[in-house]
Amino acid sequence: MVLALLVHHVPVERLSDRWGLSPACLSQWRQAFLLRGMDRLVYHHSGGRRPQLTPRQPKRLVELMEAGPLVVGCETACWTAVLLRVLIWREFGVLYNRQDVCTWLHNLGGSFQKARFVSDHLDAAKRLAWLQAKWPTIVRAATRCHGLSLFAEEASFAQWGALSSTWARRGQQPEVPTRGQRKGYKVFGAMEYFAGRLCYQGLEGRFASDSSQAFLQMILAQTTAHIFLIHDGAR
């Protein structure tokens, strides 16, 4: 293009329209060629504009993102580009475009993925101790007397919306804490450990001691064997 400007006297405006470049850019290329020759017509990456955040601030942002929106005072447990844009502005005083936030998070190792519900009140150490100490004792006792080992639990078919997607580090699925304290159709269930037989009973009201007793009475009416009942979270 520069040689065409010099040799064939092609107007800058025509080349500008043809290649989608500004006349100022073409004029600079022509001047560079006249001053330094063909060596100046080699493409060099300028490196882009300087980052608006300091080298330490992206690391701090990733830490806040992994801590979750609830930690920084949001009313939701899922990150969106808009929320992260507000967080960057509030923490670092830099205002990004929403699309730029998505690209930036992707380059930091993030991905937009679906979260999952987890219970926030479980004790992993107690669960492991029960599995290694108490459960083998129950299995031996049930085997010795040909009893039924029933794992009982309640389930609630929720009447609220599905989980949304959120920004998080790639390969680490985010978690949304919940205790399930919402309306839904209730079901009592118990599964026999050795045979896999399932007993269940629907409930339109609330889980309570009388409804729990009614479910256990239904099980007792169907067998004369000894029952070893393992109930998660039972008082």
pLDDT digits (tens, 9 = 90+) for 159-171: 665 677 788 888 8
Tokens encoding 225: 């064997």
- 175-177 and 148-158 beta bridge pairing: unpaired
Taking 70 as the threshold, does the pLDDT of residue 55 lie above it? Answer: yes
φ, ψ of residue 230 in degrees (nearest 5) = -110, 110
Contact in structure between 173 and 116 (CB atoms under 8 Å): yes
Return d(Cα 209, Cα 207) in angstroms, integer. Answer: 7
- Asked whether residue 43 carries a pLDDT value surpassing 80, the answer given is no
Structure confidence at residue 104 (pLDDT): 81
pLDDT at 144: 92
Average pLDDT over residues 28-55: 74
Average pLDDT (108-128) is 79
Provide the pLDDT confidence category of residue 49 given band limits of 50, 70 and 90. Answer: low
Dump the DSSP string for 105-135.
HHHTTEEEEE-EEE-SS--HHHHHHIIIIIH
pLDDT band at 11 (very low <50, low <70, confident <90, very high): confident
Q: Regarding beta strands 165-169 and 198-203, do their DSSP bridges make them parallel or antiparallel, or are they unpaired?
A: unpaired
Higher pLDDT, 108 or 192: 192
In the prediction, which pLDDT does 140 show? Answer: 92
Cα–Cα distance between 159 and 185 in angstroms, integer? Answer: 8
Q: Which pLDDT value is given to residue 149?
A: 94
Residue 218, pLDDT score: 94
**pTM of model > 0.85:** no
Amino acid type, 109: G
Section 22-40 average pLDDT: 79
CA distance 142 to 139: 5
Mean pLDDT over each residue of the chain, to the nearest integer: 82
Residue 206 to residue 209: CA distance in whole angstroms: 10
pLDDT digits (tens, 9 = 90+) for 124-136: 888 888 889 889 9
Distances (CA, A) of 6 to 11, 14, 27, 36, 168: 10, 14, 11, 15, 54
> Which residues are CB-contacts of 16 (< 8 A; sequence separation ≥ 6)?
22, 23, 26
Confidence (pLDDT) at 167: 82
Out of 45-54, 83-92, 215-224, which region has the weakest mean confidence (pLDDT)?
45-54
d(CA 63, CA 110): 12
83: part of which helix (H) or strand (E)? Answer: helix 81-92
Rounded to an integer, the average pLDDT of 174-178 is 76
